[in-house]
Amino acid sequence: MAERQKRPEGMNAADLSATLSRARAGNPDAWGEIYRQYAAPIFRFCRRALPSREDAEDATMEIFLKLREKLGQYDSGRPFTAWLYKVAANHCWDTLRRRRVRQDLETGELDSLPLEHPDPNQLQQLVEQRTGQELRAALARMPARARMALVLRYYADMSYEEIAEALGVRRAFVGVVLLRARHQLREALGQRGAAGLAARGTR
């Protein structure tokens, strides 16, 4: 498979805008094309953002139902994927909030704690030793907001403004959320040593 772009773009801009305007006019084939193009990235996004595979499947379908309804509101001057991920992020965040994962959503107390300054060499080592699979497993064990922030930034490639909007935090706070999330990730990665691998092996 060809190397993916950082933000999964799919079609080229001209094709996309033509397809979009056909879809907005109510053409089901055009909508199907958009769906085929973006369902997989959105599913993967939801898979990263939500706790279980079932949730991600449900969310993907719900997001596309929403997108279809909202297609008229899409401002064609803005990049389509940004809008797509915005809708997806809002939906996933709503889902998590509705589930009332209060403990992880409100990390207010945690946020004010000072972070320990990392040793660059140790960090480098940790990062080099871990595989993508291990990192995804560690992500799954993180609190929802931290995980969501990382996914929004490093998968959906959202700007700080967009993340602030999606998570409902102040723009100036996004950096703190991201840094804190990285610390939590490092901790999860660090724990995930032999014990984590052994647990995996038994399955």
Partner 1 sequence: MTHYDEMTCLLYLEGQLERPRALELSEHVAGCAECRALLRALESESRLLAQALVEEDEAVPARLLTPPASEAMPWAWIVSFGLAAAGVYTLWTGIVQPWRQQLSQAGFGEGSLLTLLFFRGAFWKGWGEMANMVEWIAVVTLGILGVSLVRRSWRRWTTIAVVMAALAAVLALPPAAAAAETKKAQTYVLPKNEVLKNDLIVSGGTVRIDGTVEGDLIAFGETVEVNGRVTGDVIAFAKVVEVDGKVDGNVRVFANSLWLRGSVDKNVSAFCEHVGFKEKSSVGGGAMMFVADATLEGRLGRDFLGFIGRTMLNGYVGGNVALRSERLSIGSSAEIAGKASYRGPHQPEVSPQARLASPLEVKIAVHRPRYSSPGYYFKQALAWGAAFLFGLILVLLMPGFFSDVVRSGREYALAPLLGIATLVGVPVVAIIACVTIVGLAVGIGSVLLWIIAVYAAHIFVATWLGERLLGAPIGTGAVVGRLAVGLAVLRLVCMLPYVGALVKFLVVIWGLGALTLAIYRRLQPSPGPAAAVQAAA
**Residues within the interface to partner 1 (CB under 8 A):** 1, 4, 6, 8, 31-32, 35, 39-40, 43-44, 47-48, 50-54, 57-58, 60-62, 64-65, 68, 96, 98-104, 115, 117-118, 120-121, 123-124, 127-128, 130-133, 135-136, 139-144, 147, 150-151, 154-155, 160, 175-176, 178-179, 182, 185, 203
Give phi and psi for 78, each to the nearest 5: -100, 155
Minimum CB–partner distance for residue 83 and partner 1 (Å) = 18
Minimum CB–partner distance for residue 186 and partner 1 (Å) = 8
Minimum CB–partner distance for residue 12 and partner 1 (Å) = 20
118 vs 193, which CB is nearer to partner 1? 118
Minimum CB–partner distance for residue 173 and partner 1 (Å) = 12
79 vs 175, which CB is nearer to partner 1? 175
55 vs 83, which CB is nearer to partner 1? 55
3-state secondary structure 68-110: HHHHHHCCCCCCHHHHHHHHHHHHHHHHHHHCCCHHHHCCHHH
